[in-house]
């Protein structure tokens, strides 16, 4: 173990490929699912994954409801006309020809309490809420706010950026259902311009066109078998959004997974468990790529996965946190690995359905997400889902630390004689997700 550990650490410390990979991935653009940017990134990643593992890279096809932006315009009609900055949210339906005009009810942060307190004012109006820092205790996800608005009869949904300087915010909204409502992200300043004046609601017109149709995406998977039929899955999503380069979210997770695969590939065949590297796509659309993959696993194949390690946004702060999803045995295992790697690691046990680890948890498979900046709203992770998610927000030192920690975790999980965490039964999973 010690000799293997030292060899892996040495390879990662000396590697020049980690940062070069991130720069090249970001050069492909934001990797919005279904775009040419995503296709270029996928083909580049296919070659890099094959070279890193020395294994054949297989494709896992994902059929999904394709969607593309065409145009989005938002204007305040009253009390005084003004053009506002807006960006349609993923899966938003189009507005009727000529646009959708309605008053706006400002729900502040947009908690459930905010929706309940304004229940009578929501029907027939646009619901305006605020985007929150996503990696925090008590965070209320954008999609939850959208559903609350839709359920209460809102005609449309607007979410305002938390950042000043006319910075747009993006993300997904509905999922192609018949009762979905038009949705757009707006700048902080545009949100402020929709406040009530003299007790009267502002009135806006949203004109939004989109293109929809059946689409197919591709997850990429490479395997290095170990001495037993069991596996440790190392995964990250490679898709992103079109406002920036999706550098933090999730270029960082992708290139760290590549780096760890390169370092462990020579050792993997001698380890107890094999290493399976999976790059998922359409994650930004309700975790679609990993959901298709995990749901198609047979029971025997699912049972052979000892641990799923999900890397998503692993730089942007020097502090890393493992979201351990109710698998209490993972906490001491991960903290011990972090101590050996010389990296400080925090753990957070409640389930958060905010990345691909969640779909493994749904099957009772021990899984966690490694993320930077948890409960640090002033970290560079605040730039996610905005045009500012670019290469300059990533620290090479933070990226290297994430790679060292991940390699330690994966190596230990592949070598362990006993399971690092117990699988959960269907009843336990239901209780966990309730």
- 238 and 93, same structural domain? no
- 335 and 417, same structural domain? yes
pLDDT of residue 13: 77
- 342 and 255, same structural domain? yes
Q: Mean pLDDT throughout 52-78?
A: 95
- 176 and 220, same structural domain? no
If one counts the domains in the chain, the total is 2
Q: What global pTM score does this model have?
A: 0.94
Give the pLDDT confidence of 86-125 residue by residue, as tens digits.
999 999 999 999 999 999 999 999 999 999 999 999 999 9
Position 1 pLDDT exceeds 70: no
- 420 and 388, same structural domain? yes
- 182 and 220, same structural domain? no
- 101 and 55, same structural domain? no
Position 248 pLDDT exceeds 80: yes
**Which of 210, 231, 252 is at the close of a domain?**
210
- 61 and 45, same structural domain? yes
- 171 and 151, same structural domain? yes
**Which of 180, 210, 240 is at the close of a domain?**
210
**Which of 181, 210, 239 is at the close of a domain?**
210
Give the pLDDT confidence of 406-426 residue by residue, as tens digits.
999 999 999 999 999 999 999
- 188 and 138, same structural domain? yes
**How far is Cα 98 from Cα 135, in angstroms, rounded to an integer?**
38
Position 3 pLDDT exceeds 70: no
**Cβ(274)–Cβ(307) below 8 Å:** no
Position 9 pLDDT exceeds 90: no
pLDDT of residue 8: 77
Position 2 pLDDT exceeds 70: no
State phi, psi for 136 to the nearest 5 degrees. Answer: -155, 150
- 252 and 355, same structural domain? yes
The helix/strand count (H/E) of the chain reads as 13, 14
Range of the domain at 367: 2-65+215-433
pLDDT-derived band at 4, boundaries 50, 70, 90: low
**Cβ(398)–Cβ(318) below 8 Å:** yes
Closest to 329 (Cα-Cα) out of 248, 410, 420, 417: 420
CATH code, 312: 3.40.630.10
pLDDT-derived band at 269, boundaries 50, 70, 90: very high
Q: Mean pLDDT throughout 172-189?
A: 91
- 244 and 161, same structural domain? no
The helix or strand, by DSSP H or E, that contains position 323, with its residue range, turns out to be strand 320-323
H helices of 227-363, in order, are 252-264, 288-295, 299-303, 330-341, 357-362
**How far is Cα 89 from Cα 76, in angstroms, rounded to an integer?**
19
CATH code, 194: 3.50.30.30
């Amino acid at each position: 173990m010690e000799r293997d550990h030292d060899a892996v650490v040495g390879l990662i410390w000396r590697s020049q490929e980690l940062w070069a990979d991130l720069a090249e991935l970001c050069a492909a653009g934001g990797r919005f699912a279904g775009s040419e940017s995503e296709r270029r990134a996928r083909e580049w990643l296919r070659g890099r994954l094959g070279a890193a593992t020395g294994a054949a890279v297989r494709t896992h096809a994902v059929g999904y409801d394709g969607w593309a932006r065409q145009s989005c315009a938002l204007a305040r009609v009253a009390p005084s006309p003004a053009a506002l900055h807006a960006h349609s949210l993923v899966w938003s339906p189009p507005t009727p020809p000529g646009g959708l005009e309605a008053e706006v009810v400002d729900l502040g942060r947009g908690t459930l309490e905010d929706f309940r307190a304004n229940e009578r004012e929501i029907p027939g109006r646009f619901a305006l809420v605020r985007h929150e820092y996503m990696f925090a205790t008590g965070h209320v996800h954008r999609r939850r706010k959208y559903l609350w608005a839709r359920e209460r009869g809102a005609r449309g949904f607007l979410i305002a950026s938390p950042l000043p300087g006319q910075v747009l915010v993006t993300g997904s909204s509905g999922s192609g259902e018949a009762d979905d409502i038009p949705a757009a992200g707006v700048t902080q300043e545009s949100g402020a311009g929709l406040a009530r004046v003299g007790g009267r609601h502002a009135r806006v017109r949203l004109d939004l066109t989109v293109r929809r149709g059946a689409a197919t995406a591709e997850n990429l998977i490479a395997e290095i078998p170990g001495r037993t039929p069991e596996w440790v899955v190392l995964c990250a999503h490679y898709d992103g959004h079109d406002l920036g380069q999706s550098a933090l979210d999730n270029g960082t997770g992708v290139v760290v997974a590549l780096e760890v695969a390169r370092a462990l590939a020579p050792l993997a065949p001698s380890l107890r468990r094999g290493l399976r590297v999976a790059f998922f796509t359409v994650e930004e659309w309700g975790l679609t790529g990993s959901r298709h993959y995990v749901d198609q696993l047979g029971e025997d194949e699912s049972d052979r996965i000892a641990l799923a390690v999900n890397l998503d946004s692993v730089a942007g702060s020097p502090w890393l946190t493992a979201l351990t999803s109710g698998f209490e045995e993972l906490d001491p295992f991960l903290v011990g690995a972090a101590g050996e790697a010389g990296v400080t690691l925090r753990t957070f046990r409640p389930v958060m359905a905010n990345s691909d680890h969640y779909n493994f948890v749904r099957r009772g498979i021990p899984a966690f997400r490694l993320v930077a900046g948890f409960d640090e709203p002033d970290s560079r992770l605040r730039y996610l889902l905005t045009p500012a998610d670019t290469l300059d927000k990533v620290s090479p030192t933070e990226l290297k630390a994430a790679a060292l920690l991940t390699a330690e975790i994966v190596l230990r999980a592949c070598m362990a004689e006993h399971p690092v965490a117990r699988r959960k039964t269907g009843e336990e999973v239901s209780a966990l997700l309730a």
